[in-house]
Amino acid sequence: MPQLRDIIDLDDLRQLMRFFYEAAGISVGILDNERTWLVSIGWQKICSDFHRACAASRRNCLLSEERIQDYLKGQDYLVYPCPNGLVEVSIPILLDDRPLGYFFMGQFLNQPPDHDYFRRQAIAYGYDQDKYLSALESVPIVSRERIDHLMGFFTRFFNLLTRIGAENQQRRRAEAETLKAKEQLETRVEERTRELNQALLEVGDLAAQLNESLQQVEHLAVTDILTETYNRRKFDEVVTSGHQFGNHEQAPFSLIMLDIDHFKKVNDRYGHAVGDKVLKHLSRVIRGLIRQGDLLIRWGGEEFLLLLPTTRLPEAGPFAERIRREIEKEQFPDAGSITISLGVAQLRQGDSTDALLKRVDTALYRAKQEGRNRVVLCSDPQLGKDDPANARVAGSVTE
């Protein structure tokens, strides 16, 4: 299990926490599993100069740190009064449901302080009463409602931070392992080359293995890992390199750009894991509708491209509408119903990739502006009004 300091840049994390403290005026701290404070910003004077400076009251602070793991079991975060009278709140920093550490926000009160209580505490621990009560006046008062909002933010913030950090760590390890494997493979090839006359069969087997590995690498290079659709690199290969933009009458070609409506709300409401499921399920549904030779490409985030060779705009428009209807009635795991907006454009005479993409993107933008859950065609202004490519398609398709 990685440590928190292994997957998160502590300097960046401290800077982010300082920005928060300067904006909100609330003390923050991050404690790792070894009970080492990785971040400690904005401690109130009443804590640093009194509670932690006195051996007897310091034991209360350490006791809270020791027991926080048990306190947090079974709950997202915990608001609790520390034994010295201030209010603190804590959440576990998790990776795969296992804690890497704990985020603290504290040294505040939910309501104006009970001065008699703190005066008695000053007497019990031998504090200078006037200085202690003066330090008490600097303690901020934070409502429980505000705490709930802040901890909702930090829960999602640290979930995202640890997930990205762990993914980066895994990627670095994979790169190192790939480099090591490449070096080993090169050594092996050199050894087999020297034995070529005695081991032709073995060399042939090795060549076959290398060819299979190359095909796998090439496949992965043009595949989106999450949705198992093609990626932008595949688009460049097919459209920019493989397709010569020439006479569109001889080689008609249409492009559909689609986007999930209000996808951010899905992630915010159900979490990114459910959002990923939605993207996977959407890809499976669309792949079940397209023809052999059509290409589904994840363009980025929740945006996809559908390349339709030998397809004119009057055919591409109804096909886009069919996809829209199928998605609208589909039930997505853990997320229910979603809708999509689609833009459609056809390749024109002498078109460039950028021009085609700009037109289809403009059509998608219009679909969103006109209320989403609809198809908008980018008609060719060079065609006559009676040309079928300028005909309005039934349903939610607009020009």
Q: Which of 35-39, 200-204, 342-346 has the lowest mean pLDDT?
A: 200-204
Query: Rounded CA gap, 90 and 82, in Å?
Result: 11
302 among known catalytic residues? yes
pLDDT digits (tens, 9 = 90+) for 50-96: 998 999 888 888 877 776 666 666 557 788 888 888 988 888 888 88
Determine the average pLDDT of the residues in 206-221: 65
Q: Where are the beta strands (DSSP E) in 194-330?
A: 253-260, 295-300, 303-309
Residue 136: CB atoms within 10 A of its CB come to 22
Catalytic residue among 65, 212, 237, 302: 302
Whether 259 contacts 247, CB under 8 Å: no
Residue in the block written with tokens 């005695």: 198
The pLDDT of residue 96 is 83
The pLDDT of residue 240 is 63
Q: Rg of the Cα trace of the chain? A: 30
pLDDT digits (tens, 9 = 90+) for 257-282: 999 999 999 999 999 999 999 999 99
Q: Burial code of 253-279, b = ≥16 C-beta within 10 A, e = fewer? A: bbbbbbbbbebeebbeebeeeebebbb
Query: Rounded CA gap, 108 and 104, in Å?
Result: 12
Q: Which of 133-142, 246-255, 260-269 has the lowest mean pLDDT?
A: 246-255
Q: Which of 134-138, 219-223, 337-341 has the lowest mean pLDDT?
A: 219-223
- Residue 161 Cα to chain centre, angstroms: 9
**CATH number attached to the domain at 4-167:** 3.30.450
Q: Which fold has domain 232-398?
A: Alpha-Beta Plaits (3.30.70)
Determine the average pLDDT of the residues in 296-308: 94
Whether 35 contacts 65, CB under 8 Å: yes
pLDDT band at residue 363, thresholds of 50, 70 and 90? very high
The pLDDT of residue 383 is 38
pTM (predicted TM-score): 0.45
* Phi, psi values for residue 27, rounded to 5°: -65, 145
Highest mean pLDDT among 12-16, 218-222, 290-294, 371-375: 371-375
The pLDDT of residue 205 is 62
* Helices and strands in the chain: count of H runs, count of E runs: 13, 11
The pLDDT of residue 145 is 92
Residue in the block written with tokens 């930090």: 154
Asked if pLDDT for residue 188 goes beyond 50, the answer is yes
Q: Which of 98-102, 105-109, 362-366, 394-398 has the lowest mean pLDDT?
A: 394-398
Which of helix, strand or coil describes residue 33?
Answer: coil
Asked if pLDDT for residue 3 goes beyond 90, the answer is no
Q: Where in the chain is the domain with CATH 3.30.450?
A: 4-167
The pLDDT of residue 386 is 37
Side chain identity at residue 199, one-letter code: A
Residue 153 DSSP class = H
Q: Where in the chain is the domain with CATH 3.30.70.270?
A: 232-398
